[in-house]
């Protein structure tokens, strides 16, 4: 049995530079990962099986084409069938929330199958499979702080501080395609240079305005995070609606989380740390 973590992905900065002829967008983004997220368990079995558990299982229960099973099938097509597998996805991250839940789950499935099959995690063929599954899957496969370019698949590792993080989602799922379609097409310039924190502090998320237009609750989330004592940076991640705040220390993060849970008991909050 292989148990693979599928940690939440954050875009500490996300600069959209241009629309591409292939329908994608040219990006510069700073990917980071936290210590918590979903979990994928793979067990050799007599027949294939896939089950979803956890507090956000219901959000995927009617999905006929899950990224986990797509990753399983793509791995087999690339490396050979291998054993039949019983796969359990323990879903703790909100669905369609800008923190790479599906991409992280697919990447965890690829890592688990690679370990079961003796495939090196840095095998170029494995990264090619990840790239075909989605723009965020290569970064999730690497699972560490990187600068992403192109669609996000061209990765350069960079060190990141282990700062406390608070993730907040107001209970809203947003279509990534709709958010990208709402981008105004203006290139506001490249990311800064320097260490990861400097890049993040000087950066922006160009998808915030269209996401906030679709889900005004994001305004409320960001206002609460920006106002929290001890916050270093507050921003929306990915295409939203999850927002994050980096804090000076865990006490400040905990105090902010308690205040938000009291004010908005229906919101999802995760206290974690940059991994």
3-state helix, strand, coil in the chain (%, to 5): 35, 30, 35
Same domain, 96 and 149: yes
Specify the pLDDT at position 156.
97
Same domain, 171 and 49: no
Residue 166: closest CA among 57, 249, 100, 264: 249
User: Which SS3 state, helix, strand or coil, does residue 120 take?
Assistant: coil
Please say if 136 is a catalytic residue.
yes
Structural domains of the chain, count: 2
Report the distance separating Cα 169 and Cα 257, nearest Å.
12
Specify the pLDDT at position 63.
59
Same domain, 148 and 169: no
Report the distance separating Cα 253 and Cα 247, nearest Å.
6
Same domain, 175 and 81: no
Catalytic member of 36, 90, 105, 136 = 136
End-of-domain residue from the set 157, 173, 190 = 157
Same domain, 169 and 152: no
Same domain, 203 and 267: yes
Write the CATH number for 224: 3.30.70.890
Counting beta carbons within 10 angstroms of the beta carbon of residue 187, is it exposed (0 to 12), middle (13 to 18) or buried (19 or more)? exposed
Pairing of strands 49-53, 84-90: parallel
Specify the pLDDT at position 60.
83
Q: pTM for the full model?
A: 0.95
End-of-domain residue from the set 157, 190, 215 = 157
CB 272 within 8 A of CB 32: no
Q: Is the dihedral of CA 129, 33, 235, 53 positive or negative?
A: positive
Q: Going from the first residue of the chain to its last (275 residues), give the mean pLDDT of each consecutive group of 10, the final group possibly shorter.
A: 97 98 96 98 96 92 79 96 90 94 97 95 97 97 97 95 96 94 97 97 98 97 98 97 98 98 97 96
What separation, in Å, do the N-terminal and C-terminal C-alpha atoms of the chain show? 24
Same domain, 124 and 250: no
Catalytic member of 9, 36, 90, 91 = 9
End-of-domain residue from the set 137, 157, 177 = 157
Range of the domain at 208: 164-273
pLDDT in tens, 158-205: 998 899 999 999 999 999 999 999 999 999 999 999 999 999 999 999
């Amino acid at each position: 049995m292989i148990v693979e973590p599928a940690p939440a992905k954050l875009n500490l900065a996300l600069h959209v530079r241009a629309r591409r002829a292939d329908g994608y967008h040219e990006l510069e983004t700073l990917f980071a990962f936290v210590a918590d997220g979903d979990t994928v368990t793979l067990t050799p079995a007599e027949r294939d099986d896939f089950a979803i558990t956890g507090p956000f299982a219901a959000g995927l229960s009617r999905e006929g084409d899950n990224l986990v099973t797509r990753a399983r099938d793509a791995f087999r097509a690339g490396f050979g069938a291998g054993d039949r597998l019983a796969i359990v996805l323990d879903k703790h991250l909100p669905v369609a929330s800008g923190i790479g839940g599906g991409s992280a789950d697919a990447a965890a499935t690829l890592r688990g199958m690679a370990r079961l099959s003796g495939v090196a995690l840095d095998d170029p063929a494995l990264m090619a499979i990840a790239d075909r599954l989605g723009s965020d899957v290569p970064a999730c496969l690497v699972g560490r702080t990187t600068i992403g370019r192109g669609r996000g698949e061209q990765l350069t590792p960079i060190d990141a501080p282990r700062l406390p993080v608070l993730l907040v989602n107001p209970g809203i799922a947003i279509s990534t395609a709709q958010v990208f379609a709402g981008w105004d097409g203006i290139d506001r310039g490249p990311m800064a240079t320097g260490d990861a924190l400097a890049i993040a502090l000087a950066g922006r998320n160009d998808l915030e305005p269209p996401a906030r237009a679709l889900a005004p609750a994001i305004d409320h989330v960001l206002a609460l995070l920006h106002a929290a004592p001890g916050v270093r940076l507050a921003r929306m991640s990915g295409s939203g609606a999850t927002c994050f705040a980096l804090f000076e220390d865990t006490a400040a993060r905990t105090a902010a989380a308690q205040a938000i849970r009291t004010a908005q008991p229906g919101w999802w909050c995760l206290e974690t740390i940059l991994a």
